[in-house]
Amino acid sequence: MYQSPLTFEALQVLDAIDSRGSFAAAAEQLNKVPSALSYIVQKLEEQLGVTLFVRQGRRSVLTPAGQHLLSEGRKLLSAASMVTEQTQTIAHGWEPRLRIAFDSIIDNKALMAVIAGFLDEHPNIEIDLTEQVMGGSWEALIEDRVDLLIGAPGPVPRHQGIRAQSIGEISQILVAGTRHPMASKSAVTEVDLASCRTVVVHDSATNQVPRTSNIIEQSRHIYVTTVAQKLSAVVAGIGIGYLPKSRIAEELKSSKLIELNLAQTESKEAPKHRVQVSTELFLASKIVNKGKGLAKLKDKLFDAYTTV
CB 98 within 8 A of CB 90: no
Would you say residue 2 has pLDDT above 50?
Answer: yes
155-164, 260-269, 298-307: which is most confident: 298-307
Would you say residue 8 has pLDDT above 80?
Answer: yes
Q: How far apart are CA 71 and CA 3, in angstroms?
A: 21
Residues 250-275 have a mean pLDDT of: 75
Higher pLDDT, 14 or 263: 14
Higher pLDDT, 222 or 268: 222
> Given this model, what pLDDT does residue 214 score?
56
- Name the 3-class secondary structure at 254: coil
Would you say residue 208 has pLDDT above 70?
Answer: no
> Given this model, what pLDDT does residue 270 score?
47
The mean pLDDT value of the chain amounts to 85
Would you say residue 87 has pLDDT above 70?
Answer: yes
> Given this model, what pLDDT does residue 272 score?
58
**CA of 3: how far to CAs of 6, 43, 69, 172, 254, in Å?**
9, 15, 17, 64, 67
Would you say residue 98 has pLDDT above 90?
Answer: yes
Q: What would the DSSP string read from start to end of 161-204?
A: -EEEEEEEEEEEEEEEETTSGGGG-SSB-HHHHHHSEEEEEPP-
Sequence ranges of the domains in the chain: 8-91, 97-168+280-306, 171-276
* Assigned architecture for domain 171-276: 3-Layer(aba) Sandwich (3.40)
Query: In the 8-state DSSP scheme, what is residue 144?
Result: T
Lowest mean pLDDT of 91-95, 141-145, 248-252, name the range.
Answer: 91-95
Higher pLDDT, 40 or 159: 40
Q: Which CATH number applies to 97-168+280-306?
A: 3.40.190.10
Q: Assess whether the region 97-168+280-306 and the region 171-276 belong to the same CATH fold.
A: yes
> Given this model, what pLDDT does residue 235 score?
94
Q: How far apart are CA 200 and CA 172, in angstroms?
A: 13
Residues 122-138 have a mean pLDDT of: 89
**CA of 10: how far to CAs of 20, 37, 63, 73, 81, in Å?**
15, 9, 16, 10, 15
> Given this model, what pLDDT does residue 187 score?
85
Q: Which CATH number applies to 8-91?
A: 1.10.10.10
Would you say residue 207 has pLDDT above 70?
Answer: no
**CA of 117: how far to CAs of 5, 211, 291, in Å?**
42, 34, 18
Q: What share of the chain is helix, strand, coil (3-state, %, to 5)?
A: 40, 25, 35
